[in-house]
Structure 1
C-alpha cells in the first residue's frame, strides 16, 4: 500500500514524536495561556453546569455574536440559522465539498493548504488553480467554473484579498451564477482581513459560503469551533450534509469561545500579535546570515515561509535534514497542490509557539542549511 503524505500527516508526525522534537508545523496556537486566558479556562467546570441549564441554541447564539463581532464581521447572518457550528474548519470544508454536486468544476486559490484541494477531489469535484497573481489582477475564472474558493488571509503566504478585489469577485460570481467560498481560518489574526466580507458579498448579490475558525487564535488544545455560514441565495444542501456529519458542537466549547472572543477585543489580540511578530523577527534575524530570507515579509499570520536560494538545497532536502535534527517544519511543495515543484524553494514554520521554541528551531535550520550548502 502506497503511503500518502500530505501536510496533515507531517503535522501528525510532529505531534506524535516520542523523542520530543520541536514542532513548528501546524498553524494552531500552541502557546502558554496568558493570565487572562487562564482565568477563562479555569471556569470550564462552570461551563459544564451552564450547558445543562441553558438551551443549546442560546449558548450557540452567544458564541456566534461574540466571535463574529470580535473579528469585525458585523453583518454575518448571526441568529438566522445560516451559521452552523462544527468541530473544526476541516469538517466544515468537507461538508461544503459534499454539498457541491459531484463533477462540479471549482477554482481554488493556489498555493494554499492542501487539504482544501484534497477534500474536494475526494468528493468528486474537478479543480482548477486560481493563482494569487490572477487574484490580485482580478482575472476571475469563467465557465465551466461554478464555485471559486479563496483563502483570506491565505495560508501559507499571508496574502489578504483587498476589499475591492473581493467586491469585484463577488460581482463577477453574481453575473456568472457562481458561488464564492471563503476560508477565513486566519482572519482573526489580521486586522486588514477584518473588513466586513458579509456586507461585501451580500451587496454584490452572489451566492456565498464562508468558513471561520477559532483554532488558529487561542491555545485551547483542539477545543475549537469551525463556523460554516452561507447566504440566502445558496441552494446547496448544506444543512443535510451537516446532518450527515454531526449533531452539534459542544456547548462547553461554545462558551469557551464566547469568553475568549471577549478577551480578544480587550487586549488579547494585541498580546498575540506581539508574540507572533517577535517570533517572525527572530526567524529573519537568525536565518539572514546563512542567506535565507522571509518569502512574505509583509505577512501578518502566524506562519512564515522561508525562501531558499536556487543554488542551494530545496525544501524537501532541508526538511529531511531538519527531521534528522529533531525539528519538524513543513516543505511547501504540497501547498502548491496543482504544481508541487513550484513550492520546492520554500519551507514553512509556525510562529504560534513560545519564543524559545521558535528561536531554537530556526537556529537548527540555519545550521542545517549551512551544513548542506557547499562552501563557495
Structure 2
C-alpha cells in the first residue's frame, strides 16, 4: 500500500512527535493564551451551563454576529439560515465538494494548501490550476470551468485578492454562469482582506460559497468552528450534504468564539499581529530570505537559493535536528517541482520557538550547502 504524504500528514507527525520536536508546521495558533483570553477560557464551565439553558439557535446566532462583525463581513447572511457551523473548515470544504455537481470542473488557485485540491479530487471533480499571476492579471478561466476557488488571503503566499479583483471575478462568473468559492480561513489575521466580500459578491449578482475559520486566530487547541456560507442564488444541495456529515457544532465552542471575537476587536487583533510580525522579522536576522515579504498572515515561505539543497532535502535534515516545517511542493498541487525552492514555517508560535527553529534552519542549510 502506497503511503500518503500530504501537508496534513506532516502536521500530524509533528503533533505526534514523542521526542518533543519543535512544531512549525500547521497554521493554527499554538500560542500561550493572553491574559484576556485566559479570562475568557476560565468561564468555559459557565458556557456548559448556558448550553443547556439557552436555545442552540440563539447561541449560534450570537456567535455568527460576533465573528463576522469582528472580521468586517457586515453583509454576511447572518440570521438567514445560510451560514452553517462545522467542526472545522476542512469539513466545510468536504461538504461543499460533495454538493458540487459530480462532473464539475473547478479552477483552484495555485499554489495553495493541498487539502483543498485533495478534497475536491476525492469527490471526483476535475481540477485546473489558476496561478496567482493569472489572478493578478484578472485572467479568469472560462468554459468548461464551473466554479473558481480563491483563497483569501492565500496560504502560503499571503496574496490578497483585492476588492477590485474580486469585483472583476464576480462579474466574470455571472457572465459565465460560474460559482465563486472563497476560502477565507486566514481572513481574520489581515485587515486588508477584511473588506466586505459578501457585499461585493451580492452586488455583482454572483452565485457564491465561502468558508471561514476560527482556528487560525486563537490558541484554543482545536476548539474551533468552520463556517460554510452560501448565496441565496445557489442551487447546490449544501444543506443536504451538511446533514449527511453532522448534526451541529458545539454550543460551548460557539460561545467561546463569541467571547474571543469580542476580544479580537478589543485589542486582540493587534496583540496577535505584533507577535507574528516579530517572529517574521527573525527570519532575516539569520540570513534567510522571505519569499513573500509583504505577506501578513501567520505563516511564511522561505526562499532557498538555487545553489543549495532544495526544500525536500532541507525538510529531512530539519526533521533529523528535531524541527518540523513544511516543504512547499505539496502546496504546488498541480506542479510539485515548482515548489522545491520554498519551505514554509508557522509564525503563530512563541517567539523563542520560532527563533530557535529559524536558527536551526539557517545552520542546516549552511551545513548542506557545498563549499564553493
TM interval, shorter chain, is: over 0.9
Q: Cα deviations across residues 16-43 of structure 1 (Å, max 9, x unaligned)?
A: 0000000000000000000000000000
* Partner SS for 1:246: coil
Partner of 2:2: 2
CA distance in 2, matches of 1:138, 1:335: 22
Q: Indicate yes or no: 2:317 matched with 1:305.
A: no
Matching of residues 131-210 of structure 1 within 5 Å: 131-210=131-210
How far has the Cα of 1:197 moved from its partner?
A: 0.1
Runs of 4+ aligned residues of structure 1 deviating over 6 Å after TM superposition are none
Give the secondary-structure state (helix, strand or coil) at the position aligned to 1:365.
helix
Q: Measure, in 1, the Cα distance between the counterparts of 2:264 and 2:313.
A: 39
**What is residue 343 of structure 2 aligned with on the other side?**
347
C-alpha distance in structure 1 between counterparts of 2:256 and 2:284, whole Å: 35
Distance 1:103 1:149 in 2: 16
SS in structure 1 of the partner of residue 244 of structure 2? helix
Q: What are the superposed Cα offsets for residues 245-293 of structure 1, whole Å, 9 maximum, x if unpaired?
A: 000000000000000000000000000000000000012211x1xxx30
Distance in 1 (alpha carbons) for counterparts of 2:143 and 2:6: 30
Match of 1:216 in 2: 216
Q: 1:295: which partner in 2?
A: 291
TM-score in terms of structure 2 length: 1.00
CA distance, structure 2, for counterparts of residue 360 and residue 66 of structure 1: 36
Shift of 1:375: 1.3
Q: Which consecutive residues of structure 1, in runs of 5 or more, have no partner in the other structure? A: none
Q: C-alpha deviations, 1:316-345, integer Å up to 9, x for none?
A: 000000000000000000000000000000
Rounded to whole Å, the distance in 2 between the matches of 1:162 and 1:121 is 28
> 1:171 and 1:199 mapped to 2: Cα distance?
13
Q: How does 1:1-376 map to 2 (within 5 A)?
A: 1-286=1-286, 288=287, 292-376=288-372
Which secondary structure state, in structure 2, belongs to the residue aligned with residue 145 of structure 1? Answer: coil
Distance in 1 (CA, whole Å) between partners of 2:284 and 2:42 is 36
Tell me how far 1:311 sits from its aligned partner: 1.1
Using the alignment, how far apart are the partners of 1:13 and 1:181 within structure 2?
30
What SS does structure 1 have at the residue aligned with 2:180? strand
Q: Deviations over 1:115-173 (max 9, x none)?
A: 00000000000000000000000000000000000000000000000100000000000
Pairs aligned (count): 372
Distance 2:25 2:333 in 1: 18
Supply the distance in 2 between the matched residues of 1:238 and 1:154 (Cα, whole angstroms): 24
Per the alignment, in what secondary structure is the counterpart of residue 245 of structure 1? coil
What whole-Å deviation, never above 9, does each CA across 1:215-263 have from its counterpart, x for those lacking one? 0000000000000000001100000000000000000000000000000
1:362 Cα deviation from its structure 2 partner: 0.6
